[in-house]
Amino acid sequence: MVYEERNAWTGLVVSVLAVAVYVVMVLRSAGGGPLSDVDWLPLMLWTIGLSIAVTIVASILWGIVAGRTDPDGAGRSDIRDRDISRMGARVEQAFVVIAGLGVIALCAVGADVFWIANTMFAGFAVSAVAGGIARVIAYRRGLV
Amino acid sequence: MVKPTLVSNSIRSHREAAGLTQAELARAIGVTRQTLIAIEQQKYSPTLELAFQIARAFGVGIDDLFQYPEVSR
């Protein structure tokens, strides 16, 4: 498995876990009450910060392990990696745009800031997961 | 299922005839072994520049290495 494919897998797994943890934390904080009363900002910032940190650490650790079996390809990337990365970015962009439009719509109707922020967060999360899935499929099935 | 490319190639037969391993050819053209495998299996269409580099590594023309079927219009 090449360097960028490992990063794609790491990003995908961490994104899914981060979203799951965030949703559980918000629901637990709400305790059955209205979600808009939840103090969502610290939870969101911690989720974003920890997911970035975990992704970096996991990539480094996986790179060290992979480097023992394939020292030449441990940190290399090439034109195929860049093509797959661009394709993944296009997939991600679509979801970010949808979330952005959702945010504008929520602002227009004067929705609570909880829903506005979390719509954007959901857009980022879905884009990361969808982009990760697209990248992993491209690495496994091919990109033509 | 990803639609396979119409571009086929004979890189594998040229490589084996030249006595090169996938790793050696990949190193010669500046890509990872996985990328060369994907090209040989037609799971990735190389850029024109990379196609020229592969052809040059064997000392053949690009038409000798890559084939594209005639399409009736």
Question: Could you read off the pLDDT of A83-113 as tens digits, one per residue?
Answer: 999 999 999 999 999 999 999 999 999 999 9
**Phi, psi dihedrals of residue B46, rounded to the nearest 5°:** -70, 155
Query: What residue segments make up the domains of chain A, in order of their start?
Result: 3-141
Q: Does B73 touch chain A (CB under 8 A)?
A: no
Confidence of residue A134 (pLDDT cuts 50, 70, 90): very high
The pLDDT of residue A15: 96
Please give the Cα distance from B19 to B3 (Å, whole number). 31
Query: Chain B contacts of A73, Cβ < 8 Å?
Result: 32-34
**Phi, psi dihedrals of residue A121, rounded to the nearest 5°:** -60, -40
Query: Chain A contacts of B41, Cβ < 8 Å?
Result: 142
Q: Does B33 touch chain A (CB under 8 A)?
A: yes
Pick the closest to residue A137 from A1, A8, A48, A18 (CA basis). A8
Closest residue in B to A2 (Cα–Cα)? B34
Chain-centre distance of CA A93, in angstroms?
12
Provide the 3-class DSSP secondary structure of residue B64: helix
Please state the rounded mean pLDDT for residues A62-79: 80
Q: How far is B11 from chain A (nearest CA, A)?
A: 17
Please give the Cα distance from B17 to A58 (Å, whole number). 41
Least confident among A1-10, A50-59, A62-71: A62-71
User: What average pLDDT values come out for chain B (73 residues) when binned by 10 residues?
Assistant: 74 95 94 93 92 95 90 67
Least confident among A34-38, A76-80, B47-51: A76-80
Please state the rounded mean pLDDT for residues A102-128: 96
Query: Chain B contacts of A2, Cβ < 8 Å?
Result: 32, 34-35
Asked whether residue A74 carries a pLDDT value surpassing 70, the answer given is no
What percentage of chain A has pLDDT greater than the value 70?
A: 98
Mean pLDDT of chain A: 93
Query: Chain B contacts of A83, Cβ < 8 Å?
Result: 44
Please state the rounded mean pLDDT for residues A41-62: 95
Asked whether residue A64 carries a pLDDT value surpassing 80, the answer given is yes
Mutate to test the interface with B, among A78, A83, A87, A139 (most CBs of B within 10 A): A78
Contact A78 B23 (CB under 8 A): no
ipTM, two decimals: 0.81
What percentage of chain A has pLDDT greater than the value 90?
A: 81
